Amino acid sequence: MKLFIGFLMGLLVCIGIGRLRYGFRKRRVLGFDKAVQSFLKGEYDQRLSFEKSGELERLARSLNELGSFLKRRMRELEEDKVQARAILDHMIEGIVAVDANKRVIFMNPSAQSLFQVPENRNVGKTLIETFSNAALDDLVDRALANPKSMTGEIDLHTPVRKFLKVNAVGIRRTSGDKMGLLVFVDVTEIRRLENLRREFVANVSHELKTPITSLKGFIETLRGGALEDAKETQRFLAIMEEDAARLAGLIDGLLELSCLEAHEAALELKPVDVGFIIQESIDVVKPLIHQKRLRVGNRVSSQALPKVLAHKDKLKQAIVNLLDNAIKFNQDDGTITIDAAVSDSCVTVFLDDTGIGIPESAVLRVFERFYRVDQARSRHLGGSGLGLAIVKHIIEAHGGAVSCESCLGKGSRFSFTLRTVPS
């Protein structure tokens, strides 16, 4: 009986100890489970305590090391994500990403600006809904079907017309789905400069060809026997002299523009009396003024204007060009009025004429090289089409600005600003 009771008590003690060890292990396992659940939620600071012996020690240590590793890697990934987003947000190129169904999944600020679309309002929309451009949609189709990079150019008819170069490439994601990546580069300015270059070459070729053809014709005529007629020879030589002067003027104008545009030599600006320069310029063109019986009203001479910062010779050249333009396109017995005003540390000079005027559509282009409102009339009057372009570049080299206002049939007003000498 005593032996049975002893056995029973030993059994109960073993059961108790077993339950205690089971409870302890259960709590440790629950602790492990809690740590794993925290890791799944992105909480990597959970740490397990452990005894210095046993299998659970190794498991707890491994879980703690896993938590530290995951925290470090997630921090690195977040930093990489922030860095990549900062790069994309500050790129000049527009970046757009689409999924396999051509729905927008990302668009950086440059792309939003290029296409003038609201921020984040186009994510989830199709490419055609967002950009309304069939050529772009077709380019993305080919990029998704072919892993090679596709390049194209699209013409955007936004409020301001734009030309965009597009590079599209299809990318296979780790999930196996495809996505399209588009890079947009604004080449509007490049296309504009290319057009200007083509126009410039065409205009220069035409302007050079006309007097050269004339000279060649007269030379052939003289060689053919016209030299025997002294009177006719003198007439031909006079015309040839005019053509040669026109060629020289054209070349001089081109060289002048080239130097001004390249900023090869910075203008040395000094205090100048603008009224004195205006009067000198009027004196230069007096023969032309008398020839057309024009009246010139110089109101600047009676004003006490502050001195301006200018290069005397260049400023005189600009004013002479403006006067020459006002004389050529004025009517006989017309008037030219020169006035000035002072405001905000600047002197503004106005030159009004009673000429033929300029159509509204042409006012913004009168300062372009070789631009003529009336081609035939300008050539008849001997204009090279460079005078006003030179004026614009000279005044801008002084830090000023030029402008033009006109009423067709009534006349035009040209004006320019110059900085006054600081007091």
Q: Which helix (H) or strand (E) holds 151?
A: strand 150-157
Count of Cβ atoms closer than 10 Å to residue 27 Cβ:
10
Ranges in the chain, pLDDT < 70: 1-60, 63, 119-120, 174-176, 206-207, 261-265, 373-384
Backbone angles phi, psi at 168, to 5 degrees: -120, 140
**3-state SS class at 167:** strand
- 188 CB contacts (<8 Å, ≥6 apart)? 161, 162, 163, 164
Q: Bridge-partner residues for 308, per DSSP?
A: 272, 420
Backbone angles phi, psi at 253, to 5 degrees: -65, -40
Q: What share of the chain is helix, strand, coil (3-state, %, to 5)?
A: 55, 20, 25
Cα–Cα distance measured from residue 361 to residue 364, given in angstroms and rounded to the nearest whole number: 7
Q: Which string of DSSP letters, residue by residue, matches 38-67?
A: HHHTT---------SSSHHHHHHHHHHHHH
Among residues 25, 29, 39, 26, which one has the least CA distance to residue 68?
Answer: 39
Confidence at residue 303, expressed as pLDDT on a 0 to 100 scale: 75
Q: Bridge-partner residues for 165, per DSSP?
A: 153, 185
Confidence at residue 52, expressed as pLDDT on a 0 to 100 scale: 55
Helix count and strand count (H, E) for the chain: 13, 12
pLDDT tens digits for 6-33?
A: 555 655 555 555 555 545 555 555 665 6
Among residues 381, 226, 210, which one has the least CA distance to residue 291?
Answer: 381
pLDDT tens digits for 372-404?
A: 766 544 455 555 678 888 899 899 989 999 999
- Domains annotated for the chain, with CATH where assigned, are 88-186 (3.30.450.20), 266-422 (3.30.565.10)
**Where are any strands of DSSP class E within 6-133?**
94-99, 104-107
Whole-angstrom CA distances from 6 to 13, 14, 281 are 11, 12, 134
Q: Which helix (H) or strand (E) holds 303?
A: none
Confidence at residue 401, expressed as pLDDT on a 0 to 100 scale: 93
